[in-house]
Amino acid sequence: MAELKVEHLEVRYGDLVGVADISLAVADGQVVALLGSNGAGKTTTLNAIAGLAQVARGRIEWRGETISGEPAYAIVSKGLALSPEGWRLFVGQTVEQNLRLGATALADRSRIEALFDRVYTLFPRLAERRRQSAGTLSGGERQMLALGRALMSEPRLLMLDEPSLGLAPAVVEQLYDTLKELHRQGLTLLLAEQSIPLALGIADYAYVLQTGRIALEGPAAELERNEQVQEIYLGMSAVNSV
Ligand SMILES: Nc1ncnc2c1ncn2[C@@H]1O[C@H](COP(=O)(O)OP(=O)(O)OP(=O)(O)O)[C@@H](O)[C@H]1O
Ligand SMILES: [Mg+2]
């Protein structure tokens, strides 16, 4: 059974359409990728799932329950966490304070110390810099912090919005190793990426978005061989499905 189901999602920004019609499913333990070029609707889709963008039409279901329309904190407390595009850190606050904010919706407060341990084990650099303000961190470290903050709510589904953006290749490689480790530990991942090889290298299944709709979807191994993926990126292909 799908843990997360998005059905005919439409999100509007005033008169503008953010996404027009997105349907997708994520099963327990899967890694699912959302691919698409600039403006395709990846961030809007993740924000709608996280309760940060208002759903105009359609429905979002989490483990059999409709969550569209619920506030962001309620969605986090149900086990969905987002590591957002551009990190959205509190740069004047310390690493530790930023991480603690990630645990705001955590029902079982006694879990906090164990969650700090988990994040600091995963990212020793954050442990070394725990008393440093987030504004002093490098790009790679900020991405670690955004990811760590999402993990502080002890999610079952972790959503990541373009975690590789602006990072050096070696840092990206490390980050993806961490994502693979988190997946091995049982976390379900929904990942928005512009980089096709990165996303398909980790995903089980992928959706390719184009101007707010699903243009193509399939198992990652199949999409890797599908030339249409590249064409959609370059805006050369009509909407199609496999
Ligand atoms: N706050 C906003 N106000 C108005 N329009 C917006 C807003 N955010 C996004 N949009 C529009 O919604 C559409 C989808 O944007 P979105 O940011 O979801 O794309 P994306 O796939 O995440 O792109 P990128 O790869 O550049 O991050 C675009 O046409 C964009 O211009
Ligand atoms: Mg985006």
Domain positions in the chain are: 2-216
DSSP 145-188: HHHHHHHTT--SEEEEE-TTTT--HHHHHHHHHHHHHHHHTT-E
Where on the phi/psi map is residue 164: left (φ > 0), alpha (ψ -120 to 50), or beta? alpha
- Mean pLDDT within 151-165: 96
CATH 3.40.50.300 fits 2-216, yes or no: yes
pLDDT tens-digit readout, 173-211: 999 999 999 999 999 999 999 889 999 999 999 999 999
Chain position carrying tokens 């079982």: 108
**Contacts of residue 185, Cβ cutoff 8 Å, sequence gap at least 6:** none
Edge-to-edge strands, sheet with 16-27: 65-66, 57-62, 2-13, 16-27, 213-219, 205-210, 31-35, 188-193, 157-161, 80-83
Structure-block tokens of residue 146? 């955004």
Shortest-distance atom of ligand 1 to CA 36: 21
Mutate to test the pocket of ligand 1, among 10, 19, 44, 233 (most ligand atoms within 8 A of CB): 44
- Atom 12 (ligand 1) nearest CA: 18
CA of residue 123 to ligand 2 center, whole Å: 25
**Contacts of residue 187, Cβ cutoff 8 Å, sequence gap at least 6:** 155, 156, 157, 158
Mutate to test the pocket of ligand 1, among 9, 34, 42, 55 (most ligand atoms within 8 A of CB): 42
pLDDT tens-digit readout, 110-143: 999 999 999 999 999 999 999 999 999 999 999 9
- Distance between CA atoms of 38 and 42, rounded to whole angstroms? 9
* Phi and psi at residue 120, to the nearest 5°: -70, -30
Higher pLDDT, 166 or 239: 166
Considering only CA atoms, which of 123, 141, 140 is closest in space to residue 132? 141
pLDDT for the residue numbered 241: 44
Q: How confident is the model at residue 233 (pLDDT cuts 50, 70, 90)?
A: confident
pLDDT for the residue numbered 107: 83
pLDDT for the residue numbered 236: 55
Structure-block tokens of residue 88? 């959205």
Assess whether pLDDT exceeds 80 at residue 22: yes
The bound ligand whose nearest atom lies closest to the alpha carbon of 85 is 2
Considering only CA atoms, which of 226, 182, 223, 216 is closest in space to residue 31? 182
Q: How many CB atoms lie within 10 A of CB 85?
A: 17
Assess whether pLDDT exceeds 60 at residue 95: yes
* Ligand 1 surroundings by CB, under 6 angstroms: 13, 16, 18, 36, 38-44, 85, 194
Assess whether pLDDT exceeds 60 at residue 239: no
Q: How confident is the model at residue 1 (pLDDT cuts 50, 70, 90)?
A: low
Secondary structure letter of residue 109 according to DSSP:
G
Distances (CA, A) of 97 to 76, 113, 124, 140, 145: 18, 13, 16, 18, 11
Q: How confident is the model at residue 240 (pLDDT cuts 50, 70, 90)?
A: very low
- Distance between CA atoms of 112 and 118, rounded to whole angstroms? 10
DSSP 24-88: EEEETT-EEEEE--TTSSHHHHHHHHTTSS--SEEEEEETTEE-TTS-HHHHHHTTEEEE-TT--
Higher pLDDT, 89 or 1: 89
- Mean pLDDT within 79-98: 95
Q: How confident is the model at residue 59 (pLDDT cuts 50, 70, 90)?
A: very high
Shortest-distance atom of ligand 1 to CA 11: 12
Average per-residue pLDDT for the chain: 93
* Phi and psi at residue 122, to the nearest 5°: -70, -40
